[in-house]
Amino acid sequence: MTKFPLLAILLFIGASAFAQTQTEKEIKDLLAHKWKLTHVEVGGQKMEVPAGVGDSFLDFKADGTILKIDSEEEQKGKWVYDHKTKIITTEDKDGTEKYEIIKISETEFSFKVTDEGQKITMTLKRVN
């Protein structure tokens, strides 16, 4: 008799994990907002964005355009999302970048990017 409750619990956990999978449309809808960089993780070290650096934003538009905004400039580009790989590809005057989504919710967005061979995790919070 103890096998049934254990099996039921395992099935419930499996069903819950499956139910939390986000669809392509849900992810695109979540992305289409303005996001402010809050911290960066490099080599396992979490670093808050220093106050003197200024604010950095990624503003994803639903029409596939993006604004990259920092204290020095505002750069326009385009973005596409590949649901199979969970990768956002952006193109602007500086070239192409790929962001691997780790987590996205109504309030937080984390992704990995490789810069000069080093993996960097960036975490942003939604501002609009």
Q: How far apart are CA 51 and CA 99, in angstroms?
A: 24
Beta bridge partners of 113: 120
Is 16 a member of any domain?
Answer: no
pLDDT digits (tens, 9 = 90+) for 102-114: 999 999 999 999 8
Q: Report the CATH number at residue 104.
A: 2.40.128.280
pLDDT digits (tens, 9 = 90+) for 29-79: 999 999 999 999 998 899 887 676 788 999 999 999 999 998 889 999 999
Beta bridge partners of 112: 100, 121
Place of tokens 């499956």: 18
pLDDT digits (tens, 9 = 90+) for 74-93: 999 999 999 999 999 999 99
Query: For residue 56, what are the domain limits?
Result: 22-126
pLDDT digits (tens, 9 = 90+) for 5-28: 554 454 444 444 434 589 999 999
Is 35 a member of any domain?
Answer: yes
* Nearest in space to 56 (alpha carbons), one of 72, 36, 34: 36
Number of domains the chain is built from? 1
Q: Is the pTM of this model over 0.75?
A: yes
